[in-house]
Amino acid sequence: MSTLTVTSRGQVTFRKEVLQHLGIQPGEKIELDLLPDGRAELRASRPTGTIDGFLGLLAGKTNKVASIEEMNDAAAAGWAGDE
């Protein structure tokens, strides 16, 4: 068990081994859920995307319109490593 000290500003610093255990790198975020009886659950915050967030991501970025055949050719070339 790790013991952390709270600063006068209400901040704590997690030890390197704790961050490594959680898989957290510098600049990443942590989620904290408050549980009953004064307990908390801490975990690495992982972005969750939805298909709705993905659809339209590139909308308006180009004026080119590709046919289904062109899209299929591009996908096949990408899978084959011919980019």
Cα–Cα distance for residue pair 13/74, rounded to 1 Å:
48
Is 70 among the domain residues?
A: yes
For position 9, what pLDDT does the model report? 95
Cα–Cα distance for residue pair 19/37, rounded to 1 Å:
25
pLDDT in tens, 15-70: 899 899 988 988 889 999 999 999 999 888 887 777 777 777 777 777 888 899 99
Top pLDDT among 64 and 77 is at 77
Domains in the chain, number: 1
30, 44 contact by CB (below 8 A): yes
Nearest in space to 33 (alpha carbons), one of 18, 22, 45: 45
Is 28 among the domain residues?
A: no
Structure tokens at 81: 């490593």
Is 9 among the domain residues?
A: no
Is 73 among the domain residues?
A: yes
